[in-house]
Amino acid sequence: MRIGAHVDSADPLSEATTRQAEAVQFFLSDPQGWKAPEKREDADLLRAAEVDLYVHAPYVINVATLNNRIRIPSRKLLLGHATAAGQIGAKGLIVHGGHVNAGDDLAVGFDNWRKTFAYAADSGGFAVPVLIENTAGGDNACARRLDALARLWDAVGEYEVGFCLDTCHAHAGGEELLDLVDRVKAITGRIDLVHANNSKDAFGSGRDRHDNLGGGTIDPELVVAVIRAADAPVIVETPGGADGQGADIAFLRERIGAGSVAA
């Protein structure tokens, strides 16, 4: 099981060394902007690295929305990031599940996700696996609650799509972590990556504020249990820089072989 952290994109391999991480996740462009990723001068070095690489797509991407001015650029930006992720040898591209606006039909949002994968297929396909991530908030979200996730997978399941399970998002989104892995896999059939994060906020708060594993409102043993049950690579997206994330990685390595409650 490979364990790592979300790091600054300038020199992700050095960041991995500082944290003693076996995997890193990073952005290829401004996460709050629409700019396409630029070719990296260290692409050859990244491809040859023993560290596993994951790319997180910009937060602005929302392929589910009925707003053409957001949906269409989102499709193009997602495809561009997948291409750039492939150029550096990334294992996958993580993207949030998105949402529709209040008053819009959520069913159309799910179908827009299907059209996104159809659009990519017509363009030669995604260069790396796309891992849809569960989200913490929103009443009109496509991947907050498991009932919505099931409808999303009905729409996109015919394509080669992966899933990223975020423990903070699940907790804040109102999904109990106990037995969560079994419930998710009953829908998606897979978990490709775990974002192991504690939450600063209460269960069901809808607030996406990560905390270190030893803090927050989630019993850290439940996070450990999720990881053990998922049996997938792990990325911590926790605060505190190299020290805070390094401590979280060390905690998981220490605990991952120990007994824990089922998740």
pLDDT single digits (tens) 166-190:
999 999 999 999 999 999 999 999 9
Residue ranges per structural domain of the chain: 3-255
Q: How far is CA 183 from CA 171, 172, 186, 200, in A?
A: 14, 17, 5, 24
Arithmetic mean of pLDDT, 214-236: 97
Mean pLDDT (the chain, rounded): 96
Instruction: Tell me: pLDDT of 79 over 70.
Output: yes
Closest CA to 197 of 163, 233, 228, 170: 170
Arithmetic mean of pLDDT, 149-162: 97
What is the reported pLDDT for 258? 42
Give the rounded percent of residues in the chain with a pLDDT score beyond 70.
Answer: 97
Q: Is 105 exposed, middle or buried (0-12, 13-18, 19+ CB in 10 A)?
A: exposed
Confidence of residue 263 (pLDDT cuts 50, 70, 90): low
Confidence of residue 234 (pLDDT cuts 50, 70, 90): very high
pLDDT single digits (tens) 137-149:
999 999 999 999 9
Q: How far is CA 27 from CA 6, 77, 215, 231, in A?
A: 9, 13, 26, 24
Arithmetic mean of pLDDT, 207-213: 98
Arithmetic mean of pLDDT, 6-20: 98
Which residue is associated with the tokens 């991480």? 21
| H or E element that contains 132 | strand 130-133
Q: Which CATH class is domain 3-255?
A: alpha beta
